[in-house]
Amino acid sequence: MGETMSRRLKFHLGGEAEMEERAFGNPFPDYEAAASAGPATGGAEDAGCARPPPATDELGLPFRDDGKVSRRVAGPRAARGGLPMVASAGPAPEARDVSSPRPAPRARRPEPEPGARRPAPAGLPPRGGLGGVRRVPPAAACLPLLPSRCARGWGAPGARGPGGRGLRRRGRGRAPRQPGGAERPWAPTTRPRDVGAEAPWVGPEALRGRPRDGPGPIVQNFTKRIQTKIKDLLQQMEEGLKTADPHDCSAYTGWTGIALLYLQLYRVTCDQTYLLRSLDYVKRTLRNLNGRRVTFLCGDAGPLAVGAVVYHKLKSDCESQECITKLLQLQRTIVCRDSDLPDELLYGRAGYLYALLYLNTEIGPGTVCESAIKEVVCAIIESGKTLSREERKAERCPLLYQWHRKQYVGAAHGMAGIYYMLMQPAAKVDQETLTEMVKPSIDYVRHKRFRSGNYPSSLSNETDRLVHWCHGAPGVIHMLMQAYKVFKEEKYLKDAMECSDVIWQRGLLRKGYGICHGTAGNGYSFLSLYHLTQDKKYLYRACKFAEWCLEYGAHGCRIPDRPYSLFEGMAGAIHFLSDILAPETSRFPAFELAPPQRDRKI
């Protein structure tokens, strides 16, 4: 009695203390505060403002006006503040032929007394009400800092940055230092709010006489910090993998997960070195198939599916087809009615279904025939209907699932992950089944939400503790977003946004930086919501979680059992950081599928 009362009091009065045990307090300002403070922090650099920056290094936005992560940095620093002088408002100057002789440099203006306001240069209005001026840099100042998406990769043999000096380039490409030695990773994204039509936006490329790839200046090198960190973590990971279990071929904790990571780096950089490295790990996994499990994350389906994709990209069609054939041979176990196989993602039918859908999205439609996919989908639906009848919940929840006799809610073991897979366009579930079976089941799960906006780990659990992809809002949010895409009802988007707020507040986890139950996996929810809404608030949140991951190992988090694996350890954090570099094409590994070819942005 006393213990029960104590637990109730802890839940009602001490919930915040228990949350602190599981997550760090979020030290970052939310998007609205950062955006409104843009002119005071990043905005000063945005406008070439000569006044000193504020002491804080936490405000400002990490992407351009078009929402893309910054990839360039503007050149020369201001004389005293260390700020780059970038183009801003004012009439666009006439483009100068870069081959013509450079004009003689102007004499330097004497420095004003401390605290004095600098006068505005001729032809440029002062920044309204904020103090400071705008200065337009010479064309040569606007040098690219980093290679494009299809340049050489990070740390790969032959990888080189601009000027042929790789990622360690110094000089103009170096980020400005702030007072106190702090380096701000964010580049401002908003145009000055006090600029009217009479003062058009002027970008650095306007001075070069050629178009740029997106509006808005880029003044910080957050991208460079990520690339440098990826290079460092890859070296640590490769060293640590020397002592990893040689027989673990799973995507979750084993060699297939490492192959997926290198396949991801190849996708982001187009560097063939990463694809060949992925092949090395694929060959290792294919030698260790054991036949005990059949799913993508924890069974043989993962190594075979990833192997098929890697061989396909290397034009080895014979080897690719051999992997596909072996994968389809596992289907007998999946659809057998006498099988005690669960339906969840990690160890069950939904995990095998993902492997089939993965092949059709990565290699091409028709790689796996529709009849094979339909057979697996029908097995999942029949299993859910059977349990729902047994539990007498057929009207409230037509599709009910359990794992180890517990009705889990989350993405890894629960209903959110199963419903998410059934709603995938590639699964070809008919609209009647989606409307009459899947939709009411999703609504049943929605009604189990806590007042905080989080979700329980199982239907019988009333404790609001876990904010992980595997258990809690970070997994359920993907189901809600997919439901919004399929059913076009605003309630699903609203719930997804509330999940995002929970993840933002409680998602910096003490369990580590991984994907399954770590900060990187929680960060993917923001990237997915950004894809859906194009609201830069969610890209900002994803970048802030990435900034947390840049301090990998510095927060005193727990060390996972497999510290270098994809879903528990370092490889997952690297995967997330690499997706921050290409947020428009990012996707949660071994869970989200690439959009259909016709929907992809070119």
Binding residues: 470, 516-517
CB 566 within 8 A of CB 246: no
Q: What are phi and psi of 258, to 5 degrees?
A: -70, -40
Nearest-angstrom CA–CA distance, 425 and 594? 11
Distances in Å between the alpha carbon of 288 and those of 132, 321, 330, 380? 65, 19, 16, 28
Nearest-angstrom CA–CA distance, 415 and 442? 8
- 197-201 long-range contacts, Cβ below 8 Å, gap at least 24? 199/89, 199/90, 199/91, 199/125, 200/89, 200/90, 200/91, 200/92, 201/88, 201/89
Nearest-angstrom CA–CA distance, 65 and 30? 18
| Burial class of residue 447 in the structure, from the number of CB atoms within 10 Å of its CB (0-12 exposed, 13-18 middle, 19+ buried) | exposed
Report, in this order, helix, strand and coil percent for the chain, each rounded to 5.
45, 0, 50
Nearest-angstrom CA–CA distance, 118 and 44? 13
433 by DSSP, 3-state: which? Answer: helix
Report the binding-site residues for Zn(2+): 470, 516-517
CA torsion 393→491→402→517, rounded to 10°?
Answer: -160
93 by DSSP, 3-state: which? Answer: coil
Neighbouring C-beta atoms of residue 559, cutoff 10 Å: 10
3-state SS, 391-427, equals CCCCCCCCCCCCECCECECCCCCCHHHHHHHHCCHHH
- Give the count of alpha carbons within 13 A of 38, CB side only: 21
Neighbouring C-beta atoms of residue 252, cutoff 10 Å: 25
Nearest-angstrom CA–CA distance, 197 and 201? 9
Nearest-angstrom CA–CA distance, 68 and 585? 11
Nearest-angstrom CA–CA distance, 29 and 44? 18
Nearest-angstrom CA–CA distance, 236 and 211? 40
114 by DSSP, 3-state: which? Answer: coil
Matching residue, tokens 């994204």: 189
